[in-house]
């Protein structure tokens, strides 16, 4: 719901900026904007009544979406259901750690496969030709 209202709010913002930029200031000539044919495009009164009504309508929609988003922001919950629950007591099923022996570490020597007098050929891999 908030996402849809935010999207509509942003769209209204862009429309409001465009409508305000289309309007002319006091004393400005609409004909300069539309190449000299300003009165024929919008009628004899020009764009003033139509653009005023559109601007008023979009401004009202902008205010409504702004108030709605502010209301949702103020009344949104940031907590979780899990914040109020108490966790169950944790029972350890892990065995107790036994301290390691202290002293020198015994490293086994590699087993001797040959007597060392003759060299071994490297193992052949499939797909390799010699």
Rounded to two decimals, what is the model's pTM?
0.46
The more confidently predicted of residues 130 and 102 is 102
DSSP alpha helix (H) spans, the chain: 2-22, 30-33, 38-42, 48-74, 81-84
Report DSSP state, residue 105: P
CA end-to-end span of the chain, whole Å? 72
pLDDT tens digits for range 40-65: 555 555 556 788 888 999 999 999 99
Of 7 and 36, the one with more pLDDT: 7
CA distance 71 to 65: 10
pLDDT tens for 96-115 read 777 777 777 777 787 755 55
């Amino acid at each position: 719901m908030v996402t849809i209202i935010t999207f509509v709010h942003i769209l209204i913002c862009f429309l409001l900026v465009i409508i305000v930029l289309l309007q002319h200031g006091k004393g400005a000539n609409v004909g300069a904007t539309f190449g000299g044919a300003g009165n024929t495009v919008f009628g004899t009164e020009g764009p003033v009544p139509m653009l005023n009504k559109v601007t008023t309508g979009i401004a009202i929609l902008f205010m409504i979406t702004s108030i709605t988003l502010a209301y949702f922001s103020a009344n949104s919950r940031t907590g979780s259901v899990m914040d109020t629950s108490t966790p169950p007591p944790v029972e350890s099923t892990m065995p107790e750690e036994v301290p390691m022996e202290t002293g020198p570490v015994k490293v086994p020597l590699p087993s001797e496969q040959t007597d060392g007098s003759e060299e071994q050929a490297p193992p052949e891999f499939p797909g390799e030709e010699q």
